[in-house]
Structure 1
């Protein structure tokens, strides 16, 4: 059932992109560091979305790496604490 929802979502997304493509074919001027170029508006929209998604993916990946490192540290700390509690207690003689 989950796979069917993904396929349905993908089809809806393709339909939306197609409708946007048809509605936004007017050329726009894009000024960038090295010059200027005329592109269809939909190309500018899609490239902007892809750049945004890439940035979000990179930032999310960095956060995931930080959290995985923290998990490893906590597991090591837990393991060391467990080793200390597993050692038998020595009787103290006065």
Structure 2
């Protein structure tokens, strides 16, 4: 949607510049560093507008390139963090499995101690 509005505004601006330029067709003198020339004002106006478009496009291109570079860096960082997260998840699963095994081992030892205490109690009652 933003692109469409930019296009519409650009076209409106172009039409305004074209109308303004067509109303100013007289010749004017243009002073260069090395001389002087006479050009129709319409060419000066259109040339200035095109130069502005070109300069704006150059700045936009530089900004776009820097954004793409930053996006590339962030995507690389995201992939690295994803790998690190997967490693940590794997380590967590291993630790949880180890904890479960330890709990089972402790429960088994407690069961054996209870059985031994029961045998001692029944043996002393005889």
- The TM tier, using the shorter chain, reads 0.7 to 0.9
1:12 is displaced (CA, Å) by 9.1
Q: Given that residues 21 and 46 in structure 2 are in contact (C-alpha distance below 8 angstroms), is that contact kept between their aligned partners in structure 1?
A: no
Which runs of no fewer than 5 residues in structure 1 stay unpaired?
1-5
- Long gaps (5+) in structure 2: 1-6, 99-126
Aligned length: 86
Distance 1:12 1:33 in 2: 31
TM-score with structure 1 setting the length:
0.75
Higher helix share: 2
Q: CA RMSD in A?
A: 2.8
- Return structure 1 stretches of 4+ with deviation > 2 angstroms: 9-16, 19-22
Q: State the TM-score, normalizing by the size of structure 2.
A: 0.57
**Inter-partner Cα distance in structure 2 for 1:11 and 1:65:** 28
